[in-house]
Amino acid sequence: MRRLKLAVQLYTLRNDLKTPEDISESLKKVKQLGYTAVQASGVGPIDVHEFKALADREGLNICATHVGYNDLLNNMDGVIAQHKAWDCKYVGLGGLPVEFRDSREGYAAFAKQATEFGRQLQAAGLKFIYHNHDFEFAKYEGKTGMDILFEETDPEAVYFELDVYWVQAGGADPIAWIRKMGGRMKVVHFKDMIVTPDRKQRFAEIGEGNMNFRGIIEACREIGVEWAAVEQDDCYDRNPFDSIAISLRNLQALGLN
C-alpha cells in the first residue's frame, strides 16, 4: 500500500498567517512541531515566489491548495502558474458555490463546470480536487449532492478531497465514502468530532474525538491516498499550534508521520 503522509491544512492557522512576517514565523513553527508538508489555504497576501521560498527554507512541501471559484473561472492561467511555481499538483476548491446548492439541477450544472476545470488542469499536468462539507449530503430525488457530483463528473478529471468530519456531520459513513472514492482521492482532510454534554458537535484534535481514525487510516491506505491534511476549523480556547501538535502526536501513535 502507498505510504500515507501528513500535512497541515494552513486554514487552521489562518489568524497567524496575515502578513509575510506571520507566515514566515508560522511555517517555522509548523516544521518545528514535526510536519513536513502544508496545504495552502487561508494564507494572507504574499508573493507566490516568496511563499515558495519560505516553505523551501523550512523543508515544507506544498502538497495541495484551496483556491477561489472565481479564480478557477476567470484566471485559470494564473492558477496554473501559481501551482507550477509551488511544484504543487493538487488544486482544491474548498466548497460548492452557493448558487449551485439548492437543487439536483444545480449539482448537475456544477458537475459539468468541475469537469471543465478538471480537464483544463489535467492538460497542465495538475489535478482538480473538490472538498466537501455536510450540505452535499442533502438528498435530491433520492440521491445526495455528493452522489450527483461523484457520478456526473469525469472520473479522469475530477478528484475529491473528503473531509471526514463533514461526511460524518452529514450523516454518512466516512470509511464507506473513502472506499467509494477508489482511485479518485489522493488528498483527504483529517478532522475529529466530539459531542459536548449539552449535545453540541465540536471540532476536536485528531484522536481526542469520537471518530474511528484507525478505520479511516486503513481505508485511506487501501485506496492509495497520498496526503492526509490535518485541519481544525475552530480550536476554541486552545492555541491552534497546540492543537495541531496534539493531532500529530496522536496520528504518530497510530503509525503515521
pLDDT of residue 99: 97
pTM value surpassing 0.85:
yes
Residue 37 has pLDDT above 70, yes or no: yes
Write out pLDDT tens, residues 67-102.
999 999 999 999 999 999 999 999 999 999 999 999
Three-class DSSP labels, 16-73: HCCCHHHHHHHHHHHHHHCCCEEEECCCCCCCHHHHHHHHHHHCCEEEEECECHHHHH
pLDDT of residue 1: 52
Distances in Å between the Cα of 127 and the Cα atoms of 63, 130, 196, 223, 247 are 12, 10, 38, 17, 27
Question: Which of 20, 221, 236, 119 is closest to 28 using CA atoms?
Answer: 20
- Is residue 173 packed enough to be buried (19+ CB in 10 Å), middle (13-18) or exposed (0-12)? middle
Beta strands 143-144; 158-161: pairing state:
unpaired
Across the range 104-133, mean pLDDT stands at 98
- Which residues are within 8 A (CB) of 60 and not within 5 positions of it... i.e. 6 or more apart? 27, 30, 31, 35, 36, 37, 38
Write out pLDDT tens, residues 146-193.
999 999 999 999 999 999 999 999 999 999 999 999 999 999 999 999
The mean of the pLDDT values for the chain is: 97
Q: Residue 257 — very low, low, confident or very high, per pLDDT cuts 50/70/90?
A: confident
pLDDT of residue 149: 98
Question: Which of 6, 181, 187 is closest to 94 using CA atoms?
Answer: 187
Residue 11 has pLDDT above 90, yes or no: yes
The three grid cell numbers given for residue 32, joined into one nine-digit string: 518545528
